[in-house]
Amino acid sequence: MAARAGDGNAFGRLVEPLRDELRVHCYRMLGSVHDAEDAVQETLDRAWRSLERFDDHGSIRPWLYKIATNRSLTIIERRGRRELPTDLSPGGAPLTEAAWLEPYPDRLMGWTARLNPEARIVARESVELAFVAALQYLSASQRAVLLLRDVLGYTAGEVAEVLDTTVAAVNSALQRARKVVGKLCPERSQQQTLRTLGDAEQRKVARQYVTAWEAGDVDAIVAMLTEDARYSMPPLTRWYAGPADVRGFLAEAVLGHRWRFVPARANGQLAFGTYLWSDGRGAYVPAGLDVLTLRGRQVAEVVSFLDADFSTFGLPARLWEENLPGAR
């Protein structure tokens, strides 16, 4: 193999097609796009330096996943789990320091097009916010086992080899991990409704939501919520539960302000870049990336990531009146 002979370009051609799927694997483990990118870069650096250990009679993919998984485990040991505000009680005591879960851009999931339809669905479901948040409650090893077995389809023996443990330990960890995630995501199968609605229905829900916000119609927004809807805005720790509680927040956030929403996609879910009018700048400026969880045609949860990097999601840095639909 040319790469083993020291050809860096050959190594790049070998690993580059796997970079995106390695990144999403590390994101599931770490809950952070930035940490995942760092983990992937270190994985590829280590693979290049250790290439003589690779048996070029097999696929390089399992070997890279082994390095990436163990690198992620090391990172997890250095910090606590990543949080969402809804991990706290409503109105709970502020955290002095928190590592917040980050949203994942769908545009970085393009590699799933190479998968068969069933595997593509599994891959995209496994980055949904509720699932990634639930993973944070698992120990590092349980997280790795669950992802390698249930998402990537590794056998118990292959996982034992990756984690340098026994098949019995893998099976035990998997059982515990499934139990925890099952309790935290009891409606995970129902959260697939966004896909089953079809593109036309998704666009209809999106238009309805955007129209209500941009018109300042609090009643219309609340009417779209489920009875147990939740609304949070990391890194703020305060969150809202139920239509009445959310309405109180919306009355302050919506009324008297001018909003514009731009459709986006994050974590396989409907999302919007939200923009608030700034008199000082004479433009609409980023206010947060809203990621919606739908239950049927209703909104079950909104997580508004106030610190999201809009460029990562292909969203403009600001909007001017003349650039908006319908402007002259």
Q: Domain with 196 in it: what CATH number?
A: 3.10.450.50
Cα(201)–Cα(205) distance, integer angstroms: 6
Tell how strand 283-295 and strand 269-278 pair up.
antiparallel
Residue 38 lies in a domain: yes
Establish if 328 belongs to a structural domain: no
- Are residues 45 and 184 both part of a single domain? yes
Query: What domain range includes position 85?
Result: 3-189
**276 and 309, same domain (yes or no):** yes
Distance CA 85, CA 227 (A): 19
Taking the C-alpha atoms of residue 190 and residue 170, their distance in angstroms, rounded to an integer, is: 28
Q: Please enumerate in sequence order all residues whose Cβ is within 8 A of that of 80, keeping only pairs 6 or more positions apart, or say none.
A: 99
For residue 122, being part of any structural domain is answered with: yes
Q: Which of 189, 212, 237 is the last residue of a domain?
A: 189
Contacts of 83 (CB under 8 A, 6+ apart): 95, 98, 99, 100, 101, 136, 234
C-beta separation of 142 from 134 below 8 A:
no
Q: Domain boundary at 145, 166, 189, which?
A: 189
Instruction: State which amino acid sits at residue 207.
Output: R
Q: Give φ, ψ of 315 to 5 degrees.
A: -100, 145
Task: Please check whether residues 211 and 132 belong to one and the same domain.
Answer: no
pTM above threshold 0.85: yes
Is the same domain home to 49 and 149?
A: yes
Which of these, 186, 175, 115, lies nearest to 150 by C-alpha position?
175
Distance from C-alpha of 275 to C-alpha of 128, rounded to nearest angstrom: 24
Please list the pLDDT of the chain residue by residue as tens digits (328 residues): 565 556 567 778 888 889 999 999 999 999 999 999 999 999 999 988 888 777 666 688 999 999 999 999 999 988 878 889 998 654 444 455 678 999 999 999 988 888 888 888 888 889 999 999 999 999 999 999 999 999 999 999 999 999 999 999 999 999 999 999 999 987 654 444 445 556 678 789 999 999 999 999 999 999 999 999 999 999 999 999 999 999 999 999 998 899 999 999 999 999 999 999 999 999 999 999 999 999 989 999 999 999 999 999 999 999 987 656 554 3
- Token pair for residue 58? 């097999």
Q: Which of 137, 166, 189 is the last residue of a domain?
A: 189
Counting the structural domains of the chain, the total is 2
Both 234 and 175 in a single domain?
Answer: no
